[in-house]
Amino acid sequence: MESMTETTPQPSSPRGGRRWGTAAVWVAVLGLLTLVGFGLIRRQQGPVGVGSRMPEFTLTTFDGETIASRDLQGKVLLVNFWASWCIPCEQEAAELEQASQLYSDDEVVFLGVDYVDTETEARAYLARFGITYANGPDLGTRISQAFRIRGVPESYVVGPDGIITSVKIGPYVSLQEIVDSIEAAGGGD
Amino acid sequence: MAGLHTNSHPEPLLLHEAKLRGWSGGAGGGDEVSEGVRGFRPPPLQENPSPLSGDGRWGKRDAWRRRGGQGGEGGTRGAGLLALVTVGLMLAFSTGRASAQEPTPSDDEVNAIARELYCPVCENVPLDVCPTQACAQWRATIREKLVLGWTEPQIQDYFVAQYGDRVLAAPPPRGLNWLVYLLPPVALVAAGLLLWQTMRRWRRAAEQAPIPAAPLEADPYVRRLEEELKRRG
Amino acid sequence: MALVGHFALILTFLAALYGAGAAAYGALRHRPALVESGRHAMVLTWPLITVSAACIIGLLVTGAYQVEYVANVTSQAMPIYLRVTALWGGQSGSLVFWSWLMAAFATAASLRRWDRDRELLPWVVVVTMVTLAFFVSLVLFFENPFRSLWQTIDGAQLSAIFQPAGTLPLVPSDGRGLNPLLRHPGMIIHPPMLYLGFVSFVIPFAFAVAALVVGRSDDRWIRVTRRWTLVAWLFLSLGLILGGRWAYDVLGWGGYWGWDPVEIAAFMPWLTGTAFLHSVMIQEKRGMLKRWNMVLIILTYALVIFGTFLTRSGVLSSVHAFAQSAIGPMFFAFIGVTTVASLSLLLHRWPDLRSENQLGSLLSRESLFLLNNLLFMGILIICFWGVLFPLISELFTGQKVTVGPPFYERATGPLWGGLLLLMGVAPLSAYGRTSARLLGIALWKPLALSLLVPIGLLATGMDSLAAILGYWLAVLVALVTVHEFWRGARARHRTRGESLFVALGRMAGRNRRRYGGYIIHLGVVLMAFGIIGIELFQTETQGSLARGEQLTLGRYVMVYDGVTQWDTADGRNVTRAVVSIYRDGKALGALYPRRDFYYESQQPMTIPGVRSSLEDDFYVILVNWEPIGNQSATFKVYHNPLVNFVWFGGIVFIFGTLLAAWPEREPEPEPRRAQARAPAIAGA
């Protein structure tokens, strides 16, 4: 059995090289761990939560209008992510339109963001449910990435100060639920 | 079963849904996978022969199908129908007849382009094999664009503009993405150089000291065999 | 039964912790009795966790749907054997299975004569038990399969092990059923094979760490774990091959490997494992590369845990990935701690692992093995970077990107070619001094013969340079390897007068590692034939056919005969098309591609109809169909040349590994030395 005990001194020439090598290895290993750690944190983060500021975005609607989130400050905003291929989205489509009609004044704005969809399908979906509020495609999935959505449908209600007051994962189950969220954000009627 | 997804928080899981139709492989797919998957239902045999899910969403479009003629394509029947309708609409507006002036792009042409793209929703699934309804719609989009005369680069750019860089099979070589292409060859060359230097050092050490003969195999039979091999060459 | 299983799991956890603690303490304080106690605790973990796993299986088989796990992965319609395999059909069950394997292997590793390596024992116990404790803790605290379903008064549903106050048991009438994709025979054994491979690699790692802790710089730990490493590698290879076969049979996209991040996560330990297999031979023969072998085994362990982590944490998405769960951070912490600890240990012992590194020639077998390692590391870097880059891109630029097959194929292609070349040259080079001249003499005949291949291929008009090179190299390797067999058999035949056949058998039997290895290389050659065939020469087409219509792909003609639909007894709706195949006008029979729809899980499965021959596969997928009335259908058809060489080569590969791993008669250790060592127990 061999157990090494140091009887001869280390040769000095590789020492500098060895230090560099050790440092490089540690930097690489710790760097990789940090990266993966960040990725994990991001994954665990979940969607943008209640109490945080709504991410800024620009939406170009199907009608060609450009809406900047910055211009909507001071209003209560309901941002709804949907897709034409999303069956649960259909459950809330009619209610969302009804709710948008209830708040036909300028203080409450409904915005639909079409996630990863084709325009033909999207228009057909909107026509089918008679949706009149502004809807636009999420080009390059930038908006959905900003909100860090996990799937569709998801809805985010934002107060006049730009702070998110409620996050709904999944379809709204009733008109009342939508109304309650808006009232809670300060949408008066 | 309906109970399970109205009681627990009704996650939209549409990303999952799109991912899962046909693909949620791997160990452990069981519990996470089955939630919320819905949408694809083949026609129940006894009921009406409509090919689509029972909510009658596409009921009106049957008429188009019978008129349309050309077969559907990948994905569910509903999607095939949709492709038909889309193409039918396009052709109707251009010529008024289902048999268009330009030949409809074949499935192979669509697939050739779809193969180089990835499904924007389901991750790491190429667009030509992805069986979900959404993917069928995207293939229909490719078909539309082909009819319009777009080239493959144009179609790819369109998809990138719509859905982000994720739809491309490899990161486009710009900005940070250069790192993905440069790091492996640089690392390999660096490792190669390091190895080369080490091997040279060891070679010099060998020249300065006699090489110990390769140690004999413990097993006498093997030892004899190696001797014989050495002798007989 | 759920409570019994849960308590057994708790006991397993405690036993593992105690085992690790007692062994470590006993080793550090020179208390052999404590080490022995730790070892006993380790041996105890296996029956305990067997009880727990048996409880899960019992619950699965009897359909105890109140248990959440059972409700998630089984259903009334499932047959018994599938219910048993549902043990690894879900996240928590598969973690228990992993732990069960770990306990089994740790126990098996401890059942050996420790006389010469007494000092390693405590640390082997520590490493295996810490790993076991980690996985069991994941099960106990995060993904417990014994949680039952309870319903509160207001209808909310909870899952907990013990009944929460104010709730009643909720017993669903039926379970959700196992994911249909997991019901294929290939998929039933693919996860166990992979887990076997992963878990087996922990044993060599444990011995390596033990050697580092104790300060041994010889190759004893390698010799002791040689068979473990080979068996681990066998299972990992088998798992990968089976995964490919399953994907080909059942996923319905005409391929078997998609460079999906989770596939790669299982592939990376295989790469370092293969490099390790080769490089330990150098350490055994020449005493070189001690540090590098340590690096390799630490890397393999880290990649095993990392691979398990990637598939479970949701950090990367892939078709395999499980939903995001809370165990991600736990895995991350474990990987961080073990990697940093192993690295520190290695750096601490770095000077002690100095070896007499001498290279007789740059063409010696040692050099070629080093080159082999370089290429494997290159492929590893490509895979690792490709898997990690989407994460980096998202973190730094916010843009999600896909790193797909084009990247991997183009980057690793030349490296695989280099490995093929090495496989052809290295068997002819000797240890120590080998001049270019000697190598050339040995090589020129097979090389010349092999050149017929590219010449022939060019003559037939093949224009794919990659294919020509690939086939040429594959044939070269085959010729060299067969030549090696021939040489050895002939030598034996001449000296003993045995017939060539007997000589071949006896020679391989006597020197299993070498000739097993050559058979593995032959298996790789066959697989290379198949892989080049399907990757470079696959053709496909898609078309919609009315009844009686046909489509053409190359020499094949396919006629659509009709489609039928029915419900089966096990809860699925089958839509099956009948197509007739003709090649060059000759009828070859009918194929039955189908689409199964599983009612309970609402999931479709596409089963292709395939006509297989050694030459090619004709692969038909039913993509779409119209209702019974109109009877037209859309098919996607692939022509996959030579693909069956992949599976056939895989069988040869596995056979070669079995041969290499088969126990040879070990030389007996001299009894005198064993007695002299007995008193010296604890470490340096």
B220: tokens are 């006498």
The CA distances from residue C89 to B2, C43, C304, C323, in Å, are: 22, 27, 20, 14
Helix (H) or strand (E) holding C622: strand C616-625
Q: How far is A117 from chain B (nearest CA, A)?
A: 8
| pTM: predicted TM-score of the whole model, two decimal places | 0.83
For residue C160, what is the DSSP state? E
The closest of C271, C478, C476 to C387, measured between CA atoms, is C271
The closest of C354, C365, C226, A10 to B211, measured between CA atoms, is C365
- Chain C interface, mutation test: which of B33, B87, B115, most C Cβ atoms within 10 Å? B33
Residue C68: burial class (beta carbons within 10 Å; 0-12, 13-18, 19+): buried
For residue C51, what pLDDT is reported? 93
C259: tokens are 């460079």
For residue A8, what pLDDT is reported? 44
Nearest-by-Cβ selection for C398 from A22, A35, A145: A145
Average pLDDT taken over every residue of chain B: 62
* Most confident residue range from B207-216, C78-87, C119-128, C356-365: C119-128
Q: Determine contact, residues B39/B47, Cβ cutoff 8 Å.
A: no
Which residues touch A118 (CB under 8 Å, ≥6 apart)? A84, B137, B138, B140, B141
Residues of B in contact with A140 (CB under 8 A): 160-164
For residue C440, what pLDDT is reported? 85
Q: How far apart are CA C290 and CA C340, in angstroms?
A: 20
Chains within contact range of chain B (3+ C-beta pairs < 8 Å):
A, C
Between chain A and chain B, how many beta carbons pairs sit less than 8 Å apart? 77
B229 in any annotated domain = no
Helix (H, G, I), strand (E, B) or coil at B45: coil
Instruction: Check C403 against B180: CB less than 8 A apart.
Output: yes
Helix (H, G, I), strand (E, B) or coil at C413: helix
Q: How far apart are CA C605 and CA C599, in angstroms?
A: 11
Which residues touch B70 (CB under 8 Å, ≥6 apart)? B84, B87, B98, B104, C544
Q: How far apart are CA C107 and CA C103, in angstroms?
A: 6
Q: Torsion angle of alpha carbons B24, B28, B34, B35, nearest 10°?
A: -110
Work out the pLDDT band at B215, boundaries 50, 70, 90: low
Residues of A in contact with B133 (CB under 8 A): 85
Instruction: Check C392 against B179: CB less than 8 A apart.
Output: yes
Is B84 a residue whose pLDDT tops 90? no
The closest of B65, B76, B89, B80 to B110, measured between CA atoms, is B80
> Cα C676 to the chain's mean position, in Å?
42
Average pLDDT over residues A115-132: 90
For residue B33, what pLDDT is reported? 33
For residue B93, what pLDDT is reported? 45
Q: How far apart are CA C510 and CA C529, in angstroms?
A: 30
Beta strands in chain A (DSSP E): 58-60, 66-68, 76-82, 108-114, 134-137, 154-158, 164-169
The residues in C 98-137 lying below 8 A from A, measured between CB atoms, are 116, 119
Is C233 a residue whose pLDDT tops 70? yes
Instruction: Check B9 against A153: CB less than 8 A apart.
Output: no
Q: Determine contact, residues C626/C633, Cβ cutoff 8 Å.
A: yes
DSSP bridge partners of C589: C581
Helix (H, G, I), strand (E, B) or coil at C259: coil
Work out the pLDDT band at A117, boundaries 50, 70, 90: confident
pLDDT tens figures, C145-184: 888 888 888 777 877 888 877 788 888 888 777 777 777 7
pLDDT tens figures, C20-75: 999 999 989 888 899 899 999 999 999 999 999 999 999 888 888 888 888 888 88
Q: How far is B96 from chain C (nearest CA, A)?
A: 23
The closest of C561, C528, C558, C524 to C540, measured between CA atoms, is C558
% pLDDT > 70, chain C: 94
The residues in C 306-325 lying below 8 A from A, measured between CB atoms, are 313-315, 324
Does B53 touch chain C if contact means CB atoms closer than 8 Å? no
Is C441 a residue whose pLDDT tops 90? no
For residue B217, what pLDDT is reported? 56
Helix (H, G, I), strand (E, B) or coil at C551: strand
Helix (H, G, I), strand (E, B) or coil at C617: strand
Q: How far apart are CA A112 and CA A135, in angstroms?
A: 4
Give the domain ranges of chain A.
2-44, 58-184
Which residues touch A72 (CB under 8 Å, ≥6 apart)? A109
Is C124 a residue whose pLDDT tops 60? yes
The closest of C343, C385, C279 to B195, measured between CA atoms, is C279
For residue C462, what pLDDT is reported? 86
Q: How far apart are CA C12 and CA C580, in angstroms?
A: 57
Average pLDDT over residues C570-584: 89
pLDDT tens figures, C184-204: 777 788 888 888 999 999 999
Class of domain A58-184: alpha beta
- The sign of the torsion formed by the CA atoms of C151, C152, C156, C159 equals negative
> Cα C292 to the chain's mean position, in Å?
23
Q: How far apart are CA C142 and CA C327, in angstroms?
A: 7
Is B13 a residue whose pLDDT tops 70? no
Helix (H, G, I), strand (E, B) or coil at C557: strand
Does B27 touch chain C if contact means CB atoms closer than 8 Å? yes
Residue A9: burial class (beta carbons within 10 Å; 0-12, 13-18, 19+): exposed
B90 or C144, which is more confident: C144
Which residues touch C26 (CB under 8 Å, ≥6 apart)? C32, C33, C34, C35, C36, C37, C38, C122, C682
How many domains are there within chain B? 3
Instruction: Check C351 against A43: CB less than 8 A apart.
Output: no
Helix (H, G, I), strand (E, B) or coil at C151: strand
% pLDDT > 90, chain B: 10
Q: How far apart are CA C680 and CA C684, in angstroms?
A: 10
Is B56 a residue whose pLDDT tops 50? no
Is C17 a residue whose pLDDT tops 90? yes
Is C546 a residue whose pLDDT tops 50? yes
Round to the nearest angstrom and report the end-to-end CA distance of chain C.
47
Q: Which of B31, B65, B93 is the last residue of a domain?
A: B93
For residue B20, what pLDDT is reported? 33
Nearest-by-Cβ selection for A35 from C339, C340, C392: C392
Work out the pLDDT band at B17, boundaries 50, 70, 90: very low
For residue B232, what pLDDT is reported? 63
CATH assignment at residue B118? 1.10.8.640
For residue A136, what is the DSSP state? E
Which residues touch B153 (CB under 8 Å, ≥6 apart)? none
A146 or B49, which is more confident: A146
Does A47 touch chain B if contact means CB atoms closer than 8 Å? no
Is C511 a residue whose pLDDT tops 80? yes
Nearest-by-Cβ selection for C94 from B27, B74, B219: B27
Least trusted range by pLDDT, from C9-13, C171-175, C668-672? C668-672
pLDDT tens figures, C370-417: 999 999 999 999 999 998 898 888 888 878 888 989 999 999 999 999
Is C15 a residue whose pLDDT tops 90? yes
Question: Is B74 found in the same domain as B47?
Answer: yes
Is C325 a residue whose pLDDT tops 80? no
- Domain range enclosing B51: 23-93
C219: tokens are 């190759």
Angle between helices C2-28 and C91-110 (to 10 degrees): 40
C332 or A40, which is more confident: C332
Q: Determine contact, residues A102/A179, Cβ cutoff 8 Å.
A: yes
For residue B212, what pLDDT is reported? 56
Q: Determine contact, residues C170/B15, Cβ cutoff 8 Å.
A: no
Nearest-by-Cβ selection for C216 from A2, A18, A35: A2
A110: tokens are 């409904």
Q: Determine contact, residues C150/C159, Cβ cutoff 8 Å.
A: yes
Beta strands in C89-179 (DSSP E): 148-152, 157-160, 167-169
A159: tokens are 């107060």
Instruction: Check B137 against A171: CB less than 8 A apart.
Output: no
C570: tokens are 């096990």
Which residues touch C380 (CB under 8 Å, ≥6 apart)? C268, C271, C272, C275
Question: Is B87 found in the same domain as B109?
Answer: no
Least trusted range by pLDDT, from B7-21, C351-365, C635-649? B7-21
B89 in any annotated domain = yes
For residue C323, what is the DSSP state? P
Helix (H) or strand (E) holding C396: helix C365-397
**ipTM, interface predicted TM-score of the complex:** 0.82
Give ∠ CA C290-C291-C295 in degrees, rounded to 5. 120
> Cα C1 to the chain's mean position, in Å?
33
Instruction: Check C632 against B71: CB less than 8 A apart.
Output: yes
The closest of C52, C143, C64, C162 to C100, measured between CA atoms, is C52
Average pLDDT over residues A99-111: 85
For residue C165, what pLDDT is reported? 79
Residues of B in contact with C69 (CB under 8 A): 31
Q: Determine contact, residues B75/B135, Cβ cutoff 8 Å.
A: yes
Closest-approach residue (CA) in chain B for C94: B28
Q: How far apart are CA C245 and CA A36, in angstroms?
A: 31
String of DSSP letters for B110-143: HHHHHTTBB-SSSTT-BTTT--SHHHHHHHHHHH
For residue B57, what pLDDT is reported? 32
Q: How far is B82 from chain A (nearest CA, A)?
A: 9
Does B59 touch chain C if contact means CB atoms closer than 8 Å? no
